Each structure stands twice: as C-alpha cells, then as structure tokens.
Amino acid sequence: MAADGGALKDINEIKSQFRTREGFYKLLTLSDSQQRAGLPRGSSAGVTVGPGAGGSAGVGLVQGPGSAAAANSSPGFLPPVRVSMVKLKPEDPSEDSERVCFNIGRELYFYTYTNIKKAVDLSKPIDKRIYKGTQPTCHDFNQYSATADSVALIVGFSAGQVQYLDPIKKETSKLFNEEHPSQPLSAQNGNSPSGTVV
C-alpha cells in the first residue's frame, strides 16, 4: 500500500473550518461572531458555554440548510445552539462529575464533561435523540436531584410540548401538553378522586 505522506499531514493539522450535513462551520473570533449576530464589536453577548469559558474564539454555523430562508435573518445568521450543564454529586470524587446537554436543530446530545482543558469526546455520547415532528428549543437539568446514576432533564419543543427524561437511565416519559399546545401547561393529580388540576 503506497502512501504519499499528504494524508498524514492532514491528520495532524488543526482544522479552522469544516463541512457537515448541517452546514459549513468556521472558527470565528469573538468580534466576527458578534458582528454576524448583529452586535456591535466589543459588546458582550453574555453567553458562557461552560465553567471558566471565556475564550476569544468559537465555532459557528456559517451557512446551513434553511439558514438563508430564516425569517428576519441577516446574511451569515447563526442558528442558536442551546447548552445545559449539571454538576453531579459523585460517590467517588475521582469520577467525572459534570454532564452537558446541547441541541443542534432536531438532535439532542448528552455527554460527560470533564473540564475546560479537555474537549468533550463527540464520538461517544451518553445519549443522543433525534426528534422528527418538532425540534427542541430549550432544556434544563434539575440541579438538586442530579446524581451519578440519574439526571432529570426537561426539554421544551417548538410546538409547545414538554418532555421529562433521564438520559443516564435512558428513561423517557410521555410528552406533556401534547394535546393542547396552545393551552397553559397543566398536570392532573391522578391520586385525587376529584382529579385536581395542579
């Protein structure tokens, strides 16, 4: 098998841009990212991705499917990526103690987060979900009940539904507010004989 040596050079090269099925990603400086988002140079967007984050560069979706067709979008519009993090109460202090959840479009990912000096291994998610009908628009962990064995995650969707799930145990509950997405969210107390609405 003959090798030209060029392939080895490419493996060790740090990429500043790449293409995926979602679109074209490019390493942007903070000022470029703010300019694309419509913020004046030098102003802060107030977004921190992780503990101690505050670098001057980030990766953003420059052009992807449907990005040009988005309503009220300027050229180079960056679709939002939602990120939630939770610090776990580990039984062993040497264990990984944080988890990170983020969504890109209709896909929801859940990973182990070690620290800001070690990147998340994107090839090994703890849980990955792809939603077909609607897309996740927000999510958050229950910080108070999170343990190494169980994490409560609530996910809100673009059509008004809300889902409670545990990505560590791989448990999923039904969608709440599915029948009446335009109504306020309510839950019935099934133990009460009168069916009290909470």
Q: What is the pLDDT of residues 108-120, one digit of tens each?
A: 888 887 777 777 7
Q: What pLDDT score does 41 carry? A: 45
Q: How far apart are CA 77 and CA 38, in angstroms?
A: 9
pTM of the model: 0.49
The CA–CA distances, whole Å, from 144 to 52, 69, 150 equal 22, 41, 11
Q: What pLDDT score does 11 carry? A: 60
pLDDT-derived band at 190, boundaries 50, 70, 90: low
Write out the two tokens for 1: 């098998």
Among the ranges given (21-25, 105-109, 132-136, 163-167), the one the predictor scored with the smallest mean pLDDT: 21-25
What residues does each domain of the chain span? Answer: 1-78, 80-198
